[in-house]
Amino acid sequence: MEQVIDILSWAFLIAGGVFCVIGTIGLIRMPDMFTRLHGASVVDTLGMGFLIVGMILQAGFTLVAAKLIIIAALILLTTPVATHALAQAALHAGIRPKLDHDETGGHIAGEDASSNS
């Protein structure tokens, strides 16, 4: 039983670490700010989730596990808020997503054409 939990915990911790590295590689390699948000969200959901689950398996049914669950819930609640505010602020400041072929002519729906820069 002990060994099963250890092996599961190894798997979760390694998966979490791999997803953290993948997310931050995306943060480096993606072409513009709005696609980099996707790389950051991999770290915030899968990387964080797998690492926390791996640590909870090691902690067992204790106060430490409760604190880890609180941390996971807080991260899952707060990072979407921060990401949304960030994307909203970037659009507000006039940054436009990089498009392969621009069907709207640089025009974002619900905005007047004079604000394009």
Partner 1 sequence: MMYFVAMVAVLVSLGLALTRALLGPTMFDRVLAGNTIGTLAVLALALIGFVTGRPEFLDIAILYTLLNLVGTIAVLRYFKLSESAVPAAPEE
Please choose, from the candidates 42, 57, 47, the residue with its C-alpha nearest in 3D space to the C-alpha of residue 10.
Answer: 57
Determine if 108 is a binding residue for partner 1 (CB under 8 A).
Answer: no
> φ and ψ at 102, to 5 degrees?
-95, 100
Q: What is the 3-state secondary structure (H, E, C) of 26-81?
A: HHHHCCCHHHHHHHHHHHHHHHHHHHHHHHHHHHCCCHHHHHHHHHHHHHHHHHHH
Smallest distance from the beta carbon of 78 to partner 1, in angstroms? 4
Whether 80 and 86 have beta carbons less than 8 Å apart is answered as no
Q: Select from 73-81, 97-105, 106-114 the region that touches partner 1 (CB under 8 A).
A: 73-81
What does the per-residue mask of binding to partner 1 show for 23-42, with x meaning CB under 8 A? xxx-xx----x--xx--x--
Q: Which residues bind partner 1 (CB under 8 A)?
A: 6, 9-10, 13-14, 16-18, 20-21, 23-25, 27-28, 33, 36-37, 40, 43-44, 47-48, 51-52, 54-55, 58, 63-64, 67-68, 70-71, 74-75, 78-79, 81-83, 85-86, 89-90, 92-93, 95
